[in-house]
């Protein structure tokens, strides 16, 4: 297929060119433009580093390292030529190399990128907000590295290899970046060829089903610790709600700021939120029951707790004179 203009009831072909012919460089031009406008092309991704090479005994570099909305790392490999030059095998190698990267390592990598760009933001908060995740979900980070290949074109060897790898559990997308010349302007057509956009929803649903089955198999490995407070045993999420409800009822804080001033965000970044500030998509991350303050403001308590964050909450309440004891599962 090509690119056409529609003039005087006629389709007129726009001349195709190459990045090499137009002196467009891979790293300086294409990669830089992609990094700064990634949301236009791969909207569920956020760039956390360019030219990533944070490993020993290797001079290899990942063109763009990203995080997607599913809390996974994404390796983006870029070629400006029309063949791809074994880029799929190179990207698989890179994916294997970052597959063991932890959340904190990724956040550290992103912080260096933000600092280099002169952006005064906290990398961990930016990642949590982009992925709509909480600290308690760190264990879910980077369960499957994705690969995105971007090239002026792909050989049959590459597309056949990608299709085979996808059928065997990998997640690889291919995007064709085609340059054209029109009225002395360089036009670039960006199109997804694998998987076909029409099949994307089906493949996403299929992958979601596989992930749910995997989580069901891992259910026995979850933490079922319980804690005793005022004679009753609670799991982590319910203990947090009972403690916060008890403290609010006893101390009658005037507003949410009065609560935050005592507990801060060091315990849990989303410990307590004004109900009006919680979107419907995030509502399930909080207890169903709301708590009304003296001001009439209703607040919600998060139900997302790791063993680390619940221990910090328990320590704070113990310092306030509360008695909580751990009851380990049999």
Q: Model confidence over 163-180: pLDDT tens digits?
A: 999 988 899 999 999 999
pLDDT greater than 70 at residue 201:
no
Mean pLDDT of 52-56: 78
User: pLDDT class for 220, splitting at 50, 70, 90?
Assistant: very low
Cα dihedral 249, 253, 257, 263 sign: negative
Cβ neighbors of 210 (< 8 A, separation 6 or more) are: none
User: pLDDT class for 52, splitting at 50, 70, 90?
Assistant: very high
Which of these ranges, 115-119, 127-131, 194-198, has the smallest mean pLDDT? 194-198
pLDDT on residue 248: 94
pLDDT greater than 60 at residue 211:
no
pLDDT on residue 164: 92
pLDDT greater than 70 at residue 231:
yes
Over the stretch 274-313, which tens digit does the pLDDT of each residue have? 999 888 888 999 999 999 999 899 999 999 988 888 989 9
Mean pLDDT of 230-248: 93
pLDDT on residue 53: 87
Over the stretch 312-328, which tens digit does the pLDDT of each residue have? 999 999 999 999 998 86
Candidate ranges 24-28, 213-217, 265-269; pick with highest mean pLDDT: 24-28
Percent of the chain residues past pLDDT 90, beyond the cut: 59
Mean pLDDT of the chain: 87
Answer yes or no: are the C-beta atoms of 318 and 294 closer than 8 Å. no
pLDDT on residue 218: 47
User: pLDDT class for 137, splitting at 50, 70, 90?
Assistant: confident
DSSP state of 286: B
Distances, alpha carbon 325 to alpha carbons 188, 285, 307, 311, 318, in Å: 63, 25, 14, 11, 10
The more confident residue out of 261 and 59 is 261
Long-range contacts, stretch 311-318, CB < 8 angstroms, 24+ apart: 312/266, 312/267, 312/268, 313/240, 313/243, 313/263, 313/267, 313/268, 313/271, 314/227, 314/239, 316/263, 316/267, 317/243, 317/247
Tell me the C-alpha distance between 110 and 105, whole Å. Answer: 9
Mean pLDDT of 116-137: 92
Q: Give me the half-sphere count of Cα atoms (radius 13 Å) on the Cβ side of residue 278.
A: 19
pLDDT on residue 309: 87
pLDDT on residue 219: 46
pLDDT greater than 70 at residue 250:
yes
Number of H helices, E strands in the chain: 10, 15
Tell me the C-alpha distance between 144 and 172, whole Å. Answer: 11
pLDDT on residue 328: 62
Distances, alpha carbon 71 to alpha carbons 212, 215, 257, 269, in Å: 15, 15, 30, 18
pLDDT greater than 90 at residue 139:
no
User: pLDDT class for 207, splitting at 50, 70, 90?
Assistant: low
pLDDT on residue 58: 64
User: pLDDT class for 98, splitting at 50, 70, 90?
Assistant: very high
Over the stretch 27-42, which tens digit does the pLDDT of each residue have? 899 999 999 999 999 9
Tell me the C-alpha distance between 96 and 243, whole Å. Answer: 43
pLDDT on residue 148: 96
């Amino acid at each position: 297929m090509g690119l056409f203009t529609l003039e005087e009831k006629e389709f007129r072909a726009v001349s195709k060119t190459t990045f090499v012919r137009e002196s467009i460089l891979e790293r300086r031009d294409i990669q830089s433009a992609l990094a700064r406008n990634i949301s236009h092309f791969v909207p569920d991704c956020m760039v956390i580093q360019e030219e990533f090479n944070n490993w020993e005994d290797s001079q290899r570099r990942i063109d763009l390292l990203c995080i997607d909305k599913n809390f996974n790392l994404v390796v983006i490999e870029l070629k400006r030529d029309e063949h791809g030059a074994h880029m799929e095998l190179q990207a698989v190698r890179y994916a294997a190399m970052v597959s063991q990267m932890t959340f904190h390592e990724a956040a550290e990598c992103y912080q260096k990128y933000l600092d280099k760009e002169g952006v005064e933001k906290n990398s961990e908060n930016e990642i949590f907000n982009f992925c709509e995740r909480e600290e308690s979900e760190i264990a879910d980070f980077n369960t499957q590295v994705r690969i995105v290949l971007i090239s002026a074109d792909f050989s049959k060897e590459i597309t056949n290899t990608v299709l085979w790898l996808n059928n065997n559990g990998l997640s690889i997308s291919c995007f064709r970046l085609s340059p054209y010349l029109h009225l002395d302007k360089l036009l670039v057509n960006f199109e997804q060829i694998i998987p076909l956009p029409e099949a994307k929803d089906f493949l996403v649903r299929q992958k979601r089903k596989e992930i749910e089955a995997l989580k069901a198999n891992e259910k026995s490995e979850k933490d079922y610790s319980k804690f005793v407070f005022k004679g009753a045993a609670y799991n982590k999420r319910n203990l947090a709600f009972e403690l916060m409800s008890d403290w609010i009822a006893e101390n009658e804080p005037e507003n949410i700021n009065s609560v935050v001033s005592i507990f801060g965000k060091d315990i849990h970044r989303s410990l307590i939120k004004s109900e009006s500030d919680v979107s419907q998509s995030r509502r399930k991350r909080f207890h169903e029951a709301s708590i009304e303050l003296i001001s009439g403001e209703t607040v919600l308590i998060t139900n997302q707790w790791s063993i680390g964050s619940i221990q910090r909450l328990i320590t704070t309440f113990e310092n306030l004179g509360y008695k909580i004891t751990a009851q380990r599962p049999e």
